[in-house]
Structure 1
Amino acid sequence: MHHVLRRLDLNLLPVFDAVYRHRSVRLAAAELAMSTSALSHALTRLREFLKDPLFYREGHKMCPSVFACQLAPYIAGSLSTLNQHLSPLQPFDPLASTETFRIAVTDYTAFCIFPGLMKETEKMAPDITFELCHLPYNPALKELLAGEIDLALSFSEANEGKHQDLEEVDLFSDEFVVISNINRLSMTLEEYLSAGHVVVTPWNEKKGLLDAHLARLGLERRISLRTPSMLASPHIIAESDLLMAIPALVASKIAELASIKTFPLPFYAPPFTVKIYSHKRSGKKSSTDWLKKVILQSIKEKK
């Protein structure tokens, strides 16, 4: 493997590139901080290795051979790529950045985080963009580990295990409440179980998170409508006798938009924590670390 590169002094490639661009040994030597005799010696070694004159003098200019013209774009491209990827990472500059962040969300996490986040980034980083995507499971582990997304905004319950390659940042805690139409007067466990339910399953699960808690109690609810999005759900609740368990933060907001009533959950379910998930070895760590700080700040200002 790389049998040619093993025999070639790679320091000769910048020499070739500089002479090709400047058409001058003197100017190439000045750029590379070499003496003209040292550069001429390096060029001689490269000619001997490649078995081609590479450059010949015509007046005051060094004109490239046909082979040198064919070789030049490959050497220039390779040097540029190596220089770009081997250079130390520069600090992220939000004001100058045009970066696009690809973030996995659910309706709920986008609803909670992006209104405040967009307000912040419009001032701090006016030219960055976001691409939000819904992924088929929580918390988008495969996509994060493969580098296909930059962050995932999701939630977990207490005592859930952590993945060794992921960083988790806690944003805030929330809990489930029950919403109904405005005509309902009470919410006992018996009434809850006898009603039909709308359940949001953002990762296309067969059942919602609360069904697992009910199963531990030996109970089961009747799911009348399963949907990946909560957008139409409050209006469905307002126009029917169905019930829906949703996070308290969302319930407080949608009560302003739909004729609904809110009740405490009539059985125990632990609160959950909304988190930012990211890869510990992300290639965009400087910019994603900045974004995580801005998300945290936007949450604090909203409280």
Structure 2
Amino acid sequence: MVPNFILGGAMKSGTTFLHNLLENHPQIKMIDRNMDHAFFDDDRIYTRGKEWYMSLFNGVIKDKEEGKIIGQTSADCYFNPGSIQRILDHNPDTKLIFILRQPIERAYSLYWHQYAMGREFRKFDDAIRLEPEVIKKSYYNLKNYSYMERSRYAQQFKQILELVPAENLLIMDFESLIKRTKESVNEVLEFLRVDIINDVEELNYSKLPKNSASIPSSHFAVVVSAYLQKLGLVRVGRRLVYMFGEEERPPKMSDTTRAKLEEELKDDIAFFEKVKADFQNKLNNK
């Protein structure tokens, strides 16, 4: 049954980076990333049915017959509370890999990603203050404006830990993946029971696409872009905001905002710190 494993996020935590590395491994076939492959975590797509979902894998049947393991990336499957059960109903032996980033940093990074895409026009403090009401308005809003909600790891992973057998679950941290890439990737490869690497260049590390930080210089363009995209004119809105993109890092979060989020997300930060410590202990004990 395919896929053999799912790389499940969280968003802005290095999911794309790991996906790109794994797809260069000779014993792994990653199916292309697009919204259709969010089958388990997108309620709208899930209604198309499992027969439709299985048709997405028609192009990798030969790879499976040749002994490759088949993987897909679905960066929100930890976030939708029903998605893990859907995955297990489809294939109870599915292996799940999650990369977690420090909850505040992840939320802030996602906010600036959405702002740069022209989806978000509010200031960060306003966006997180209004988030509880905004995400209730529509499924679109839930998917696009859940900055804090996606960082509430403690509750989300409580269910995952209860449902998924330990031998089929790997939770790693973003910092280890970025700073100790070879060791972290080898931990993933051992989990998937394929050959480990001696050097990251075996996976074309230096040739991977780089995500440069880009922030629109015109707030007015972002406001107009967000309006156009909500009207369904996504390409027009994106082109507009990209015209004003400048490569620079997001501004530093205010100390007041950070202190407030540290209090609000304290349980989730504690969960993340345990995940980080456990994963780094694995790496140190190799």
TM over 0.5: same fold?
no
Higher strand fraction (1 or 2): 1
Higher helix fraction (1 or 2): 2
- Structure 1 length normalisation: TM-score? 0.28
Structure with bigger gyration radius:
1
- Structure 2 length normalisation: TM-score? 0.29
